[in-house]
Chains A and B, each alone.
Chain A
Amino acid sequence: AQKITQTQPGMFVQEKEAVTLDCTYDTSDQSYGLFWYKQPSSGEMIFLIYQGSYDEQNATEGRYSLNFQKARKSANLVISASQLGDSAMYFCAMSPIQGAQKLVFGQGTRLTINP
């Protein structure tokens, strides 16, 4: 079974600062994928970034980067130069590479960007 743990229920950050959202995972699968999603108050889950367990380089997408440490089973999301529009819930999720894409989500972190 897979499990995602996000230990930060809430984070408060000043605008333009960088922020790191923590995510640790547990799985017995050899190959797996890690995803981060953003959920604004409107409810939609917005895909941000993907990291495959076999990728040697950390994934980056614009202001988002994923700090992947396989040995420590962590996949932290780093948002650089935070903006007011970044205020939302952030979810870490994982899925096996083989078979059905069954995403397992963490509890989420509520990020608030202060002006």
Chain B
Amino acid sequence: ETGVTQTPRHLVMGMTNKKSLKCEQHLGHNAMYWYKQSAKKPLELMFVYNFKEQTENNSVPSRFSPECPNSSHLFLHLHTLQPEDSALYLCASSQALGQNEQPQHFGDGTRLSIL
């Protein structure tokens, strides 16, 4: 059983819909991350949070809006997405920034399809 839980596992939405992805970690970590995994492309880091504060936005379009209410929960709010946004979205957590020898722990991901 993974220590990082993502819901939903699958999501199909239209380009005009608004939906949210949820991530919860039970590992006592303080850093959380969103990644995008598209077909035939390496994983791309989207956002980084450390102790609830956003420390990295990797030039992500504003139609993706992250939220981190506490160190255990991370959301990704989606609105007016494009077909090229269809991908597997992975959440990860780690001890905290500055402890870069500690690995990130990943969830199972949300497979998003934009119609």
Contact = CB atoms under 8 A, between A and B. Distances in A.
B50 to A, nearest CB: 8
Nearest to A37: B106
A58 interface: no
B104 A42 contact: no
Interface string A74-115: 000000000000000001010111111111111110000000
A100 B109 contact: no
A37 B45 CA distance: 15
Contacts, number: 65
B53 to A, nearest CB: 12
Interface stretch (B17-25, B73-81, B94-102): B94-102
Interface size class of A (residues with CB under 8 A): 20 to 34
B42 A101 contact: no
A10 B74 CA distance: 34
A70 to B, nearest CB: 17
A50 B104 CA distance: 11
A62 interface: no
Interface residues of B, number: 28
A103 B104 contact: yes
B11 interface: no
Q: Which of A45, A100, A101, A104 has the most CB of B within 10 A?
A: A101
A104 B99 CA distance: 16
Given A4-B42, A50-B103, A95-B100, A100 B48 contact: yes
7 interchain residue pairs of minimum CB distance: A45-B106, A47-B103, A43-B109, A105-B43, A101-B100, A105-B42, A44-B108
Interface of B: 2, 31, 40-43, 45, 48, 50, 55-56, 88, 90, 92, 94, 97-101, 103-109, 111
7 contacts: A35-B103, A44-B108, A44-B109, A47-B104, A50-B101, A101-B31, A102-B45
